[in-house]
Amino acid sequence: MKKLKNEKELVKKAIADGVKYGEARGVVEFEPTDSATEKIEFIYRLLVHDKIIQPLPNDQLSQQTMRHRLAVWASKSK
């Protein structure tokens, strides 16, 4: 897994875009008290379910790899 140049900013963008996507679909309503970890996991699972991103193998599934996968997704979205 190659670290992206501005991965932190891309993760923030991915969370913002993922929250908008999930709420627009009507499947989730995030609370201000929800942690970034919870949001990342939910957004990752939603995008995998909708076949927008490829799922990670179960042995590689971790918070860090989910963050990276969402950062890559955010870097490709406009």
Through-space distance between the first and last CA atoms of the chain, rounded to whole angstroms: 23
Per residue of the chain (78 residues), what is the pLDDT tens digit?
Answer: 677 788 899 999 999 999 999 999 888 888 889 999 999 999 999 999 999 999 999 999 999 999 999 999 999 986
CA–CA gap between residue 71 and residue 49 (Å, rounded): 18
Task: Tell me the domains of the chain and their CATH numbers.
Answer: 7-23+36-76 (1.20.120.1930)
- pLDDT of 27: 87
- pLDDT of 77: 81
